[in-house]
Amino acid sequence: MLLKVGDLARRAGLTVRTLHHYDEIGLLKPSGRSDAGYRLYSQADVQRLHSIQTMRQMGLALGDIGELLAGEGVAPQRIISQQIRALDDQIARATDLRSRLAMLRDGLVAGAEPDMGNWLETLALMTTYRKHFSTAELKRIFESWKTIETDWLAVKDEVRRAMDQQLPCDAPEVQALAYRWMALMLQWMHGDMDLLERWGHMFRTEPTAQGRNHAPPGDMIDYIEGAIKLRMALLGKYLQPEDFSALGHVPYPVWAALQRDVQDLLARAVSSHHPDALACARRWSELLDTLANHDPGLRARLMQATASEPLLQAGSPLSSDVRAYLQAAAACAQAGKPGSSGSAVQMHSTAPPDPSV
């Protein structure tokens, strides 16, 4: 397979002018020409371009890159090893550049030799990612991906089924998926809202990032963001912009564990007065405090929002029967501790549903 210069430029995220310049200075000469004189690039040329762009983005001059690529072929292992030796001489940049290099080596050299499509895809993604994130941020994102991969693929499949069924954004099933989607993203980004917002912005504005490496395609992004925006708009009726920045993060598996434990108590008909029930009520209260970042006012506003908006309840990780049981247990704890206004389980018997939105 051979690519014309325009096709290569488009797929690699570069300009035709850049490729012409690389040809003129002898850095990347196309393997052939068409009958009409158009430059034609082979897989080996694309692999060489990948090496050029990798070193270029690391700050190496074109002349230095040419020297590194001179002589032997452009085997990924050799090129990466040469880059490491070159970067060792640049102490000020060593940490950032070596981290980027390690990611490329691990992603491209392991296993079978990448084909032209792999090289082109990586070139485009490398250019896209670099616009939005530092090497340290990308390393953190990629390393934590394994913590959510299995759950993420399952949720993505469920979202696709909801789309195929043409369920509206305000359907309870879709709202539950919106919550799980948001929770997984926050877990992936370790609760870093700024990182999450920039990642979302990249996928909304960069088509080259959509649908690659388990990333959602554009239509799925639009669909789930519609459901998320609906939730955020409802919360916005009760929270100020600064409240969103102040929110804490409770990983979805933590809520799921509480859901399972309370369901077990319900299945065994354990009374809400039982010590195990009171212990679950304490866990619930502690999670709510974490969600509100230990701000009583923010916690009260979250609870008011959920109590007033059934749609927010629809996406809660705790089912209605579990929330009712926890409320009853919290009320028992409060009734048994008169005057304990500072108790960790303080909760009025008419407390609203779980505000974990």
167 and 119, same structural domain? no
pLDDT of residue 356: 43
127 and 21, same structural domain? yes
128 and 8, same structural domain? yes
**Considering 211, 235, 259, which residue would you say is the last residue of a domain?**
235
What percentage of residues in the chain have a pLDDT greater than 70?
A: 75
pLDDT of residue 18: 93
Q: Which comes out higher in pLDDT, residue 317 or 351?
A: 317
What range does the domain containing 154 cover? 148-235
Number of domains in the chain: 2
- Residue with tokens 């693929």, as numbered in its chain: 153
pLDDT digits (tens, 9 = 90+) for 172-209: 889 989 988 988 888 888 878 788 888 878 877 776 66
**Considering 189, 213, 235, which residue would you say is the last residue of a domain?**
235
**Structural domain includes residue 170:** yes
173 and 114, same structural domain? no
97 and 13, same structural domain? yes
Give the count of alpha carbons within 13 A of 225, CB side only: 12
Sequence length of the chain is 357
pLDDT digits (tens, 9 = 90+) for 204-259: 777 666 655 567 888 898 899 999 999 889 999 999 888 887 888 888 889 999 99
Contact yes or no for 296/341 (Cβ under 8 A): no
Q: Tell if the pTM clears 0.85, that is, is over it.
A: no
**Structural domain includes residue 223:** yes
Strand order in the sheet with 39-41: 3-4, 39-41, 32-33
Measuring CA to CA, which residue among 125, 122, 180 is closest to residue 153?
180
Does 310 score more than 80 pLDDT?
A: yes
127 and 155, same structural domain? no
**Structural domain includes residue 257:** no
Q: What is the CATH number of the domain that holds 62?
A: 1.10.1660.10
Does 107 score more than 70 pLDDT?
A: no
Q: What distance in Å separates the CA atoms of residue 244 and residue 298, rounded to the nearest whole number?
A: 10
117 and 14, same structural domain? yes
- Residue with tokens 């639009």, as numbered in its chain: 222
121 and 14, same structural domain? yes
Other CB atoms within 10 Å distance of the CB of residue 193: 15
| Angstrom distances, CA of residue 195 to CA of 132, 133, 140 | 10, 9, 11
Q: Cα-atom radius of gyration of the chain, to the nearest Å? A: 27
**Structural domain includes residue 83:** yes
* Dihedral pair phi/psi, residue 321, rounded to 5°: -70, -35
**Considering 185, 210, 235, which residue would you say is the last residue of a domain?**
235
Average pLDDT score, the chain? 79
pLDDT of residue 189: 86
**Structural domain includes residue 72:** yes
